[in-house]
Amino acid sequence: MSQKTEKPTLSGQRIKTRKRDEKEKYDPASFRDAILQGLNDCGSDLEQASKFLDSAGSKLDYRRYGETLFDILLAGGILAPGGTLAPDLDPQKTCRSEICVFAADDGLDSLKNYAQVITKLIRRYKYLEKTLDEEFKKVFGFLKGFTSEQRIKLAGVTAILLSGGQINTGVLIKLLQDHLVKDGIALEFIIEVFKTWLNERDSNAIWASLRKAGLDSRLLEFLPLSKRSIDFMSETFKTHGLPQLVDYLKAQENKSVRKELQQQVGELLQNNASVEEVISIVKEQMKKYALPEHEVTILLWMSLMSIVDWNKRQELVSDQAIKHLRPYTALLAAFTTSNRAELALLVRVQEYCYDNMAFMKVFEKILVLFYRADVLSEDAILKWYKESHSSKGKSIFLEQTRKFVEWLQNAEEESEEED
């Protein structure tokens, strides 16, 4: 009797893939075609284009194809590496829209209209804000592949969107790529950005934005290495009609010089350099960089106070402070030859004592020390007491110095009577 051999069977559970779990193929070309068709149907009507983009977001996946969408709005199609438009497999099919920044008419008004299309879009779809920042970072890397005219239009739209807050100032850091800086493209582009930006916002607002993004101290990095200097940057700004930014550049240079000088003075003091040597070096730097005396006086004070490990106990820090400052009164006196410098020093000492709790009861002793050592004059102390003090610890320090000030006033009155 023949026995039929059983055929092997597959064991386990068959799992059906749900349609919603199936991964959709990434197809930016189809997305591009849908957007191009809608935009081309609008002709040159930007208002109609905005309405189309608004409604298309409910049908097309802006979240997934946001980069492609902004490629089209800036350059007219999908940008390939290098900045050229990616062609379609079908040579008969159009892969470019005329509603884009690169196709805009010359002039600021035209660029504002195109920027408004982008602005309306990201206000309607808030999740596109981050994508827009990333788009500009990417596009800046392609500047070399764009024509000069395209770069100017892109710079204009960049400035308009920066002034409106649609893109973050930090995107400009992406201009500091070696190949763009070396060829001078980064400098040309940032100048075009500044030209339009200054039409939209004042220089104070622009500088505040640059400072927030950490770019205020990096402007020299836009210059090729062979031309990297404050003087060249200032001259370039003046040549291109940007004198508003020159003052800020000079202030930035001044800040850098003061920081270096303060560090240098600190090192000299720690190495026990003589007071005469420090005075000579500081005066030389003052003359070289045209540093005002009142700023130098504050710088010296901060240097003196930074080279000591101060005791935390109030009863001990007082003697420590006077003992430390007494040998350096001649140093301070050399740079308090004007009433402004004296008042600047007095206010800074007041704020220092307020910010460092251990010094709250030391202020009067420092004041008396500086008066006796001719660092501070009677007139400066009285002016500080009556009207020029800082608001920091005002009531505390005015009460603390009241008797000394009264003594000064009485001495002044007696002197006047004798005269």
28-215 and 292-413, same CATH topology: yes
**Confidence tier at 43 by pLDDT (50, 70, 90):** confident
- What's residue 299's pLDDT? 93
- What's residue 224's pLDDT? 93
The pLDDT tens digits for 199-209 are 999 888 999 99
- What's residue 418's pLDDT? 57
Please state the rounded mean pLDDT for residues 323-351: 95
- What's residue 212's pLDDT? 92
- What's residue 414's pLDDT? 59
The pLDDT tens digits for 369-406 are 999 999 999 999 999 999 988 999 999 999 999 999 99
**Confidence tier at 416 by pLDDT (50, 70, 90):** low
Q: Which of 11-25, 122-136, 302-316 has the highest mean pLDDT?
A: 122-136
Domain ranges of the chain: 28-215, 292-413
Q: Which CATH number does the domain 292-413 belong to among 1.25.40.180, 1.20.970.10, 2.40.30.10, 3.40.50.720?
A: 1.25.40.180
For residue 85, the cross-strand partners are: 79
- What's residue 15's pLDDT? 54
The single-letter code of the amino acid at 357 is: M
**Confidence tier at 7 by pLDDT (50, 70, 90):** low
**Confidence tier at 95 by pLDDT (50, 70, 90):** confident
* Residue 140 or residue 9, greater confidence: 140
Assess whether pLDDT exceeds 70 at residue 13.
no
Helices (H), 293-377: 293-306, 314-325, 329-333, 339-355, 363-372
The share of the chain scoring above pLDDT 90, in percent, equals 67
Assigned CATH for 28-215: 1.25.40
For residue 411, give both structure tokens.
Answer: 């001495």
The pLDDT tens digits for 163-206 are 999 999 999 999 999 999 999 999 999 999 999 999 999 888 99
- What's residue 210's pLDDT? 92
Place of tokens 């893939």: 17
**Confidence tier at 14 by pLDDT (50, 70, 90):** low
- What's residue 197's pLDDT? 95
**Confidence tier at 311 by pLDDT (50, 70, 90):** confident
- What's residue 195's pLDDT? 94
Q: Is the dihedral of CA 139, 144, 147, 148 positive or negative?
A: positive
User: What gap in Å lies between CA 171 and CA 204, rounded to an integer?
Assistant: 19
Mean pLDDT of the chain: 88
Q: Is the dihedral of CA 141, 144, 145, 151 positive or negative?
A: positive
The pLDDT tens digits for 97-136 are 889 999 999 889 999 999 999 999 999 999 999 999 999 9
The pLDDT tens digits for 226-265 are 998 888 988 999 999 888 888 888 777 788 888 889 999 9
23 burial (CB, 10 Å; 0-12 / 13-18 / 19+) is exposed
Assess whether pLDDT exceeds 70 at residue 16.
no
50 burial (CB, 10 Å; 0-12 / 13-18 / 19+) is buried
